[in-house]
Structure 1
Amino acid sequence: IAEANAFGAGGDLRLVPDPDSRISIRDDGQEQLRLYIADQTRTDGTSWGSCPRRMLTSTLSRLHAETGLNVVASFEHEFTLRGVDAGLPMTLGRLRAAEPFGGDLLALLEENGLQPECWIPEYGDAQYEITLRQAPALVAADRAVLLRELVRDLARRRGLAASFAPLAAPDATGNGLHIHLSLHDDEGRAALFDPHRRGRLSEAAERFCAGVLHHAAAVTAVTAGSPASHLRLQPHHWSAARAVLAERHREAMIRICPTVSFGSSDEAKQFNLEFRAADATSNPWLALGVIIAAGLEGMTGDLPAPTVHPETVGDDELLSAAPLNPDLESGLRALETDPVAAKWFDPDLLATYLAVKRAELAAVAGLDDDAVCARVADVY
C-alpha cells in the first residue's frame, strides 16, 4: 500500500458494470468467464473523482462542450511472447511460431466485438503487434484494458507468458504503445485534415498538437510511467526522445500518419495523429485522458504554433528540440508542478497517482538498469 495516498481504511465504493463492455472467455466450447468494465462510484451512485475511467469521460465531455468535437482512437500494442521459438524478425516463420496462440487470439477478439485489424510478427525478440479498429475514445480505451488482459490470460492457458513491458533489458528492442486519434464533429466529419496547410493539419489539429507539445513533460509522466519507461525513449529506438511534431517520422512524439490516395480512399477520414511516447505500463484511460486534456489546452489557449517537421528532418534538428523526461521522478515533478496539468485530475487521484509511482521507484531503488527492466517486465 503506497504511503501518502489519499485513501485510508474508512469509506467504501461501488463497482457499476458497463453492460456494453461485456466480454466472454471460452475454451473447448465452454464459457469460463464473463468480464465487464466497471465505473467506480460512491455508495449513493454518484461519481467518484478518482475513478480513472471517469477522468477520461469527463475530459471528453469538456472537449465536446468547448469545441463541439469528439475523439476517435485506437491503441497499437506491442508485446513479447515468452515460450515460443520465435525465429527471425518480421517473418512468416515467426508468425507461425506463435500458433495456435495467434489464431486463438484473433478468434477471441472477433467473437467479443473488439474488431482486430492486424496481427503481425515484430522486430524485437519474440515480439508481436496487435491492433484493433478505431472506435470512440472511451470504447478504444476500454478495449486497450481488455486486450492486455485477454492476451495475458490466453498466453497462460497456452503455456506461454506475455509481457507488455517497455523493455526486457536496456539494450533490447522495446514494446511501444502507439495511441492514434482523430477529431470528428457530431456528424462524423473529420476535423484534423486540411490539405492546404502545413503538414495537412487543420488549424484545430495544429493547436491540439501545440498543447500536447507544451505539456509534454506532464503528459509523458502518465503515458510512460514506469521506472523503465525512460530507457526506451531514446534516440534511434523508433520511439520518441524529444517533444517533436513531424510528418511520417517514427521518432517524433506526435507523428502525422501517412494516408493513401489510390482507389476510392478518403484521405480526410484516414488522417490521424499518432502519439508515440507511450508504453503499456500506462493506464489507457489516464493516458488518453491527458493527451486530450493537453490538446484541449492548445485549442482553447494562446500557445505559439508548433514547428511541423518534414519526413526528411535530420537528427541534428530533432535533437535540438526539447528532450522528454530523463527519468520517471522528473516526469512526476513536472506533473505536480504544472499548474494546468494538475487541474486535469481530481486532487485525490493526482495525489494517489504520484504516491503509487513513487512507491514503484522506491521498490527498484539501488537496482541497475538490467534489474529495473526485469522487475518491470515481470509485473507487466
Structure 2
Amino acid sequence: MLDGTPWSSCPRVFARSAVEAFTAETGLEVAASFEHEFMLDDLPTSAPFSWQRFRDAEPFGSELVELLQLNGFGPETWLPEYGEDQFEITIEPTTAVLAADRAVLLKELVRDLARRHGHRATFAPLLDPDGSGNGVHIHLSLRDATTGEPVLHDPSQPSGLSELGRKFAAGVLTHARAISALTAPSASSFLRLLPHRWSTGGIFLAERNREALLRICPTAPDGDTAARQYNLEFRAGDATANPWLAIGALIRAGLHGITEDYPAPTIWPEDASEEDLEGVEPLPRDLPEALEALEKDDVVTRWLDRDMLATFLAIKRAELDQTRDLDLAALCRRIADVH
C-alpha cells in the first residue's frame, strides 16, 4: 500500500507471508529454484539434447547465460531439451521469495534477448496439443534458519527423505488438486499434465520418476554434499502461473502437512509400473475442474485473501469464456501468443 503496509491481495505478500509463517512455526527456511523450459522459433531442425541445437541457438545461448550472470541469477545449466526448438535454463537455489522474483524476471530477460536476435521465445504449456510442452519445475529444500544446515535429507530413512520431509510432501500431495489451479492455471495447462507427456502422470511421491507430482531428485555421488543437493521437485507447474502464488501455496501446504502431522506418503520407486500406480489419484482433467477443487478445499482457500481468491477465480473463468469455442490447436496458439 502507499503507506507501506502490506496489501493482502498482493501475490508477493502472499509468498512472503507463507515464508514467515513457515519459519515461525518450524524454525526452518525454504530454499527454492524454478526450472524453466521454453521454445525458440526460427531455428534449423536438430535432434533433442544435441550439440547441434546448442550451436544453432548461438549466440543467443551464450549471451543468455552471460546476461543471467551479470544480473546475479547464478545460472547453473543451459541445454537443449526433448521438444522441437525447446531449451531449458536453470538457476541456483536461493530463498523462496527471491527465487520467485527471479522466475518473473527471467522470462522477461529471455523474451527481450530473443527479440534482439530476431527470435520469438514462448514459455506456453503447449504450442501444439500433440507436441511437447513446457513446464516450470519448482525445486524445494529445507534448512535450519539459524545454521543453514539442510534438514530434508536423512540417510537412515526410506529414499533418504527425512520424517519432516515426508510430512511436508504429504501436505503438498493432500492439497495438490486445489494447488494445481494456482500452478497450472491456463486453459491449455492440463492438456500437458497427462501420463506419457514428460510431465505429471498422477499425485504421488517417487524417487527420480518423472511422472510423479513430487520427485526426489538424484544427487551426484558425493557423500559430503548429498544433503545439500537433496531436494523435492514439484512438476505440475508451468509459466502461466504467478510464481509468488505457486511458491506460497506449496510452502503453506508443506507447513500444513508438518503441523497437522499428516500420514507419511508412499515413496514409489523410479521404475514403478503403470499397474503399480493404477490407484494413484489423478490431477484435475482441466482448469474448470481444478478451479472447482480449489474452491472446495477449505484449507487452501483459508490461506488466500478473500478478494485475491475471488479475483483469481473471476479472471480464470473469464479466460475460459474467451477460449471456450476454440479447438485444441487454436487454444494452444492463443495461450502461446500471451506467454
Same structural fold, with TM-score higher than 0.5 when normalized by the shorter chain: yes
Q: Does 1:364 align with 2:316?
A: no
**Alignment check: 8 A CA contact 1:86 1:98 kept:** no
Tell me what 2:221 maps to. 261
Tell me what 1:229 maps to. 189
Distance in 1 (alpha carbons) for counterparts of 2:79 and 2:287: 31
Which letter maps to 1:123?
Y
Which letter maps to 2:92?
R
Distance in 2 (alpha carbons) for counterparts of 1:99 and 1:317: 44
Distance in 2 (alpha carbons) for counterparts of 1:172 and 1:289: 30
Q: Does 1:353 align with 2:312?
A: yes
1:237-252 superposed matches below 5 A: 237-252=197-212
Tell me what 2:4 maps to. 45
Tell me what 1:126 maps to. 85
| Secondary structure of residue in 2 paired with 1:149 | helix
Alpha-carbon shift at residue 181 of structure 1 (Å) = 0.8
The superposition leaves residues 141-172 of structure 1 with CA deviations (integer Å, 9 ceiling, x where unpaired) of: 11111000100111111111000001111111
Alpha-carbon shift at residue 95 of structure 1 (Å) = 0.6
Aligned residues: 338
Distance in 1 (alpha carbons) for counterparts of 2:41 and 2:293: 35
Distance in 1 (alpha carbons) for counterparts of 2:59 and 2:24: 47
Q: 1:72 aligns with which of 31, 54, 57?
A: 31
Distance in 2 (alpha carbons) for counterparts of 1:333 and 1:154: 38
Tell me what 1:5 maps to. none
Tell me what 2:170 maps to. 210
Q: Does 1:329 align with 2:281?
A: no
**Alignment check: 8 A CA contact 1:86 1:93 kept:** no
1:251-290 superposed matches below 5 A: 251-262=211-222, 265-290=224-249
Alpha-carbon shift at residue 317 of structure 1 (Å) = 2.0
Alpha-carbon shift at residue 88 of structure 1 (Å) = 1.6
Alpha-carbon shift at residue 86 of structure 1 (Å) = 4.2
Distance in 2 (alpha carbons) for counterparts of 1:261 and 1:80: 32
**Alignment check: 8 A CA contact 1:75 1:178 kept:** yes
Distance in 2 (alpha carbons) for counterparts of 1:191 and 1:156: 42
| Secondary structure of residue in 2 paired with 1:315 | coil
Alpha-carbon shift at residue 261 of structure 1 (Å) = 2.4
Distance in 2 (alpha carbons) for counterparts of 1:75 and 1:312: 26
Distance in 1 (alpha carbons) for counterparts of 2:90 and 2:221: 22
**Alignment check: 8 A CA contact 1:209 1:295 kept:** yes
| Secondary structure of residue in 2 paired with 1:302 | coil
1:21-36 superposed matches below 5 A: none
The superposition leaves residues 64-83 of structure 1 with CA deviations (integer Å, 9 ceiling, x where unpaired) of: 01111100011110000012
The superposition leaves residues 308-362 of structure 1 with CA deviations (integer Å, 9 ceiling, x where unpaired) of: 1111211122232000010001111111111100011111111111111111111
Distance in 2 (alpha carbons) for counterparts of 1:379 and 1:318: 35
Tell me what 1:147 maps to. 106
Percent identity over paired residues: 54
The TM-score with structure 2 as length reference comes to: 0.98
**Alignment check: 8 A CA contact 1:178 1:278 kept:** yes
Distance in 1 (alpha carbons) for counterparts of 2:232 and 2:123: 22
Tell me what 1:11 maps to. none
Which letter maps to 1:253?
L
Tell me what 2:127 maps to. 168
Q: Does 1:177 align with 2:124?
A: no
Distance in 2 (alpha carbons) for counterparts of 1:112 and 1:319: 46
Tell me what 1:16 maps to. none
| Secondary structure of residue in 2 paired with 1:141 | helix
The superposition leaves residues 77-107 of structure 1 with CA deviations (integer Å, 9 ceiling, x where unpaired) of: 0000012224221111101111111111111
Distance in 1 (alpha carbons) for counterparts of 2:209 and 2:202: 12
Which letter maps to 1:213?
L
Which letter maps to 2:220?
V
**Alignment check: 8 A CA contact 1:248 1:311 kept:** yes
| Secondary structure of residue in 1 paired with 2:213 | strand
Q: 2:262 aligns with which of 303, 318, 324?
A: 303
| Secondary structure of residue in 2 paired with 1:319 | coil
Alpha-carbon shift at residue 273 of structure 1 (Å) = 0.3
Which letter maps to 2:212?
A
Tell me what 1:30 maps to. none
Distance in 2 (alpha carbons) for counterparts of 1:154 and 1:75: 19
